[in-house]
Copies of this chain bind each other. A is one copy, B any other.
């Protein structure tokens, strides 16, 4: 029986990358698990994520600031902090730690499965 395994913290570059790196770790109908490596990237000015799917997201390493539309200030996220973002909960990433990189685990939960 095949047992897939890996490390969320392996292969991290010491230098910031130009773009966020998104890797699908597991996928099936209704669900996708991703590792996201941020090195200082933020959402573009004025851009809000407005997703059709729920998202459960965890900061594994590093730290970040997340703004939820309608909230007065950014949420500070450190290692081990998680947030459940319902579909169409508009949000943006205001800051991510660059060095060492910030590693997220994102679980995208689609309505249909």
Contact = CB atoms under 8 A, between A and B. Distances in A.
Given A80-B10, A80-B103, A82-B25, A75 B1 contact: no
A55 B75 CA distance: 30
Interface residues of A, number: 39
Copies in the complex: 2
A81 interface: yes
Contacts of A70: 1
A60 interface: yes
12 contacts: A1-B86, A1-B88, A1-B89, A3-B83, A3-B84, A5-B75, A6-B81, A8-B81, A26-B84, A31-B31, A58-B105, A113-B113
